[in-house]
Structure 1
Amino acid sequence: MLGREERMRVRACLAAALLAPVVALAGCREGGVTPRPAVSGGDAERGRRMVAAYGCGGCHAVPDVPGAVGRVGPSLHALAARSYLAGTIRNDPETLVRWIQDPQALRPGTAMPDLNVGPRDARDIAAFLYTDHAGGLGPPHLLPKRWLGAH
């Protein structure tokens, strides 16, 4: 049987062993952790209203948009923190604007319909999806959000 001091040393070693991979990965970023830049020329508040006006919430759950609880498409919570759109399209501000305007041009056959979103509306929607209100930005965290219990 281990004494109190030996148990404390074992616990300290165990804690160090569990923390070592986290420290080793401190310079790494996982999709969903690195904040994205803002969308230049976009009006996030207007974008929130455009999400409602275009009916995006019929297919997507969208934070801070009343009634946007759709489950056909993926949730748009923390969209800006994702590395990819539609699984394979690099997620950056300009690509997101293009995706909102014409998803079929970027991924033919995608289930996302072309809603005839104009350039200004697409830029504003993207600006909104890249804000804290949409769960998009915020400080990066050393651990991936899924490990922290955030959804």
Structure 2
Amino acid sequence: MKWIALLLPILLVACSDKTNPPRTIAGADADAGLQVMRRVGCAACHVIPGVDWPRGANGPSLKGFADSPMIAGRFPNRPAVLTAFIVDAPSMATDTGMPAMPLTQDEARDVAAYLYTLHE
């Protein structure tokens, strides 16, 4: 019985709420990010809430992106990592189908800000 008393606090912590806090990027503009995504054609590969056409099927859907703990299933979903991935995914994941994007750092930050508005 003593082991139950010792194990209980560990189990309670393990079962606690693990939701991610909202991610924000200071100075970034989510609305501008959506416009950048439309301009450069991100929806040619991804389904993107807020973009009706095209509805790409090659890349993953970006619906609920803000709630995902990982980027591309292998990188922590953090603003600096996401911004770097948006600009030059192949330098981070050589096996990705996502091309390097012709974006400035500010544009990539705006895109990341938009992605962080996409909750399930």
Fold match by TM threshold 0.5:
yes
How many residue pairs get matched?
A: 109
Q: 1:119 aligns with which of 94, 105, 111?
A: 105
Deviation (angstroms), 1:87: 1.0
User: Matches of 1:70 and 1:77 in 2, distance apart?
Assistant: 13
User: Matches of 2:73 and 2:99 in 1, distance apart?
Assistant: 16
SS in 2 for 1:63: coil
Q: Which residue of 2 aligns with 1:39?
A: 25
Q: Which amino acid aligns with 1:97?
A: T
**8 Å contact kept, 1:43–1:127:** yes
Q: Which residue of 2 aligns with 1:19?
A: none
User: Matches of 2:50 and 2:21 in 1, distance apart?
Assistant: 19
Q: Deviations over 1:53-75 (max 9, x none)?
A: 01000000000123141110000
Q: Which residue of 2 aligns with 1:141?
A: none
Q: Which residue of 1 aligns with 2:74?
A: 88
Q: Which amino acid aligns with 1:27?
A: S
1:75 aligns with 2:64: no
Q: Which residue of 2 aligns with 1:3?
A: none
Q: Which residue of 2 aligns with 1:59?
A: 45
Q: Deviations over 1:67-90 (max 9, x none)?
A: 141110000111121111111111
Q: Deviations over 1:2-41 (max 9, x none)?
A: xxxxxxxxxxxxxxxxxxxxxx565142xxx424321222
Pairwise CA RMSD: 1.9
Which ranges of structure 2 fall in alignment gaps of 5 or more residues?
1-11
Normalised by the length of structure 1, the TM-score is 0.66
Which ranges of structure 1 fall in alignment gaps of 5 or more residues?
1-23, 137-149
User: Matches of 1:47 and 1:116 in 2, distance apart?
Assistant: 14
Given the superposition, is the C-alpha separation of residues 67 and 35 from structure 1 closer, same or farther in structure 2, using an over 3 Å criterion?
A: farther
Percent of aligned positions with the same letter in both sequences?
32
